[in-house]
Amino acid sequence: MNVLLYSKERNIDNWKYLEICINELHNKKIKIWFLKDFYQKINNQINPDIKCKVISKLNNDFEIDFLISFGGDGTMLSAAKLIKGYNIPMIGVNTGRLGFLANVAKNNIKKLIFDLENKNFNVSQRSLIDIRIKPRLKNEENYFALNELSICGENNTMINIKAYLNGEYLNNYWGDGLIISTPTGSTGYSLSCGGPIIMPDTNNFIITPIASHNLNVRPLIISDQNEVKLELDNRFETFKLSIDGLPYDITNKHIIFIKKSKSFINLLITKENNYLHTLRNKLLWGLDKRNS
């Protein structure tokens, strides 16, 4: 078995959990892989007797079975960008905060490795959003998101975003901004703005207004077979675009096209951390004294 370990964690206190994982993999004679940039940050903490494979970047010649991410959901989103197109399943050890994506408790690392060895997991195929921006930003036209993209105005100003489905006018969204979310992202920014939770295997997008100025405008679930086009308010020159938490500056000259990607991300879900368990655990569902 070959396991790629990944983190962008800067808090050295949490690296002890990575060390636990490394030692456990080594003891079980499981091959350990690192990306060079990350390895250079932690190599002084790794037992020199532990052998590992260090690579500059992924390619299809490497036979990596799993990626284990250490951090929060932001680290998982970063890891998704690494493995897109390589069909490497990933799972996250939560050394961050809430952890919907990184849902393995940091004290359960040995149990996680046991589950990987014994195939005590399911693979959840998660859809991605392809994002095309015209004119291009910094010579890049295409982006993707596992969770969502959002658009807001500068300095918290109210803006207007005109949305189209398959070229047909849908609505003018007046407010602080707009979120387009995948099912995976339904428990993220969209949820905090009143959007619904939808199961990860549903073939949908969610269009969620941020602090809508029109009270009759509510989050909308649409089929992911639709292409969404967004045009920006001509009254303002600059806007803030966020794609899975990465910020970009755009102007009212930019048009954004959104559709379902042909690629996907495989998430490993251990049987004790299935999606319903994660919802109950993270959102405290069922913890009502009346149910005691």
The correct answer on CATH 2.60.120.200 for the domain covering 2-119 is no
Q: Mean pLDDT throughout 90-108?
A: 86
Q: Mean pLDDT throughout 41-49?
A: 78
Q: Which residues are bridge partners to 125 per DSSP?
A: 266
Residue 286: per-residue pLDDT:
77
**Does residue 201 register a pLDDT over 80?**
yes
Which part of the chain is CATH 3.40.50.10330?
2-119
Q: Which residues are bridge partners to 205 per DSSP?
A: 222
Q: Which residues are bridge partners to 209 per DSSP?
A: 178
Q: For residue 135, say if its preceding peptide bond is cis, omega within 30 degrees of 0.
A: yes
Query: What is the rounded distance in angstroms from the CA atom of residue 191 to the CA atom of residue 152?
Result: 17
**pLDDT tens column, 250-287:** 999 999 999 999 999 999 998 878 888 888 888 888 77
Mean confidence (pLDDT) of the chain: 90
Active site amino acids: 73
**Does residue 246 register a pLDDT over 80?**
yes
Which part of the chain is CATH 2.60.200.30?
129-262
- C-beta of residue 228 within 8 angstroms of C-beta of residue 258: yes
CATH topology of domain 129-262: Tumour Suppressor Smad4 (2.60.200)
- 176 token code pair: 């602080």
- 158 token code pair: 């109210």
According to DSSP, the β-strands at 66-71 and 90-94 are parallel
Residue 12: per-residue pLDDT:
59
Residue 282: per-residue pLDDT:
80
Residue 8: per-residue pLDDT:
83
Q: Rounded to whole angstroms, what are the CA distances from 222 to 225, 240, 243? A: 8, 24, 19
Q: pLDDT band for 290, please (50, 70, 90 cuts).
A: low
Residue 268: per-residue pLDDT:
93
Query: What is the rounded distance in angstroms from the CA atom of residue 280 to the CA atom of residue 268?
Result: 19
Residue 111: per-residue pLDDT:
93
